[in-house]
Amino acid sequence: MKKDEGRQGKVLKERFINRRGVREAINGYVFIAPFLIGVIIFQIYVFASGFYYSFTDAQGLNPPSWIGLANYKQLIHEILTGGEFWRAIRVTFIYELGCLATQIPVAFVLAFVLNSLPFKKLQNILRAAFFVPVLINTIIVAWLFRQLFNPDQGLINWLLGVFGYHTRIDWLQNQTLAPILLIIVSFWQWTGFHMVYFVSQLQTIDPNLYEAAKIDGATPSQILLRITLPLMRPAVAYVMVTSAVGGLLVFDVIFMLFGGSSIGIFGPGNSAKALVPYIFDKAFTSEFRLGLASAAGWLTFLIIMIVNIFQMKVIGLGASREEE
């Protein structure tokens, strides 16, 4: 905004009082009106009414009545006593950290190896192959993996058998395996995406830097540690920040991966009921508790904001220090 103030500067300020300025202002409001009205209706109003409902016992079609902090008290109580909401938070963070810890390092290694290949054509083909899962709907991905991990007719158990491990693993009905399964599916879907982004960033590094380092007698591992990694740090930070919120709001993959079985919509014993599934469950499937769902939604929003601020502080500051 500063930029165009400087550009138009005084002229515009003087012009502002005359007719053209008024016309411009009217134009401005007309131009932003559709968007602004949309934001107010579909976001601000929704969040505001959710805030109101979170203090009521709104349920189904009953008229809501004020119950103060009771919904929040229940949720806090669940957090403190290891109840349902606490389990939702826990599984969300297990999923989130599992995704970050597996996808980003593997994506980086793959990108590094791919980028070191001097054959452009091959590079493009491989890059496209790794990118394809990103293009497939999460619903379909989860459905495919449910078939692949089917204990009796799935490919995975059969492959384990081929390699000599004959124990029948019941992937879809095991409470401890459920979050791991989610991490595996997410890994398959997103690693290629991160890799392609890393490759595009690796290609912005000046090749002369590598040449100079080689002439100075640096070993390949030194080049990786001293040149590539520091220069890639902003890219890694960017991927972490942008994928974090999506991970905290995970829903589709959980709903579809376990949805077909009879042992709970969100995994065996609801062991994969993350935050959004928890809200969904309270709002639609079990009790239609609009008030409690809204309160849980506000707490989830709060958690996301805290994670965001934490990331900005830790990763954001780290990145800017690198630039100095």
Partner 1 sequence: MGLAANSNVMEIEAEKLLSKKIKRRVRLTPGRLIAIIFLCIVALIYVYPIFWMLDGSFRPMIEIFNLPPRFFQFGAGWPHLNTYSLNNYIKAFNDWSVGTSFFLSVLVTVTNVALTILVTSLCAYAFAFLRFPFKNILFYFILFSFMLPTITQISPYYKLMSTLGLTNTLIGLIVPPAISAMGVFLLRQFYIKLPYSLIESALIDGASHFKIWWNIVLPLSKPALAALSIYQFRGIWNDFLYPMILLRDDKLFTIPVRIKLMDSVNFNKPYDAIMATGFLFSLIPIVIFLIFQRYFIEGLSGGVKG
Q: Residue 193 CA to chain centroid, in angstroms?
A: 13
Please report how the helices 120-135 and 84-116 are oriented relative to each other, as an axis angle in degrees rounded to 10.
160
Neighbouring CB atoms inside 10 A of 227's CB total: 17
Nearer to partner 1, 126 or 232 (CB): 126
What per-residue string of b and e applies to 104-116 under the rule 16 or more CB within 10 Å gives b?
beebbebbbebbe
Question: Are 179 and 101 spatial neighbours (Cβ–Cβ below 8 Å)?
Answer: no
- State the minimum distance, in angstroms, from the CB of residue 81 to partner 1: 23
The DSSP symbol for 63 reads P
Q: Where are the alpha helices (DSSP H) in the chain?
A: 2-15, 19-39, 46-53, 70-80, 84-116, 120-135, 138-148, 155-162, 177-202, 207-215, 220-223, 229-248, 252-259, 275-280, 290-311, 317-323
Nearer to partner 1, 243 or 270 (CB): 243
- State the minimum distance, in angstroms, from the CB of residue 65 to partner 1: 16
Tokens of 300: 């989830």
Nearer to partner 1, 136 or 263 (CB): 136
- State the minimum distance, in angstroms, from the CB of residue 294 to partner 1: 6
Nearer to partner 1, 87 or 146 (CB): 146
- State the minimum distance, in angstroms, from the CB of residue 324 to partner 1: 25
Nearer to partner 1, 22 or 324 (CB): 22
Q: What whole-number distance in Å separates Cα of residue 180 and Cα of residue 257? A: 12
- State the minimum distance, in angstroms, from the CB of residue 280 to partner 1: 6
Nearer to partner 1, 130 or 321 (CB): 130
- State the minimum distance, in angstroms, from the CB of residue 239 to partner 1: 8
- State the minimum distance, in angstroms, from the CB of residue 73 to partner 1: 19
Question: Are 210 and 202 spatial neighbours (Cβ–Cβ below 8 Å)?
Answer: no
Q: What whole-number distance in Å separates Cα of residue 301 and Cα of residue 170? A: 35
Nearer to partner 1, 45 or 66 (CB): 45
- State the minimum distance, in angstroms, from the CB of residue 39 to partner 1: 5
Nearer to partner 1, 169 or 249 (CB): 249
Q: Any residues with CB less than 8 A from the CB of 22 and at least 6 apart, and which?
A: none
Q: Any residues with CB less than 8 A from the CB of 297 and at least 6 apart, and which?
A: 50, 54, 279
Question: Are 250 and 274 spatial neighbours (Cβ–Cβ below 8 Å)?
Answer: yes
Q: Which position has the token pair 């709970």?
A: 264
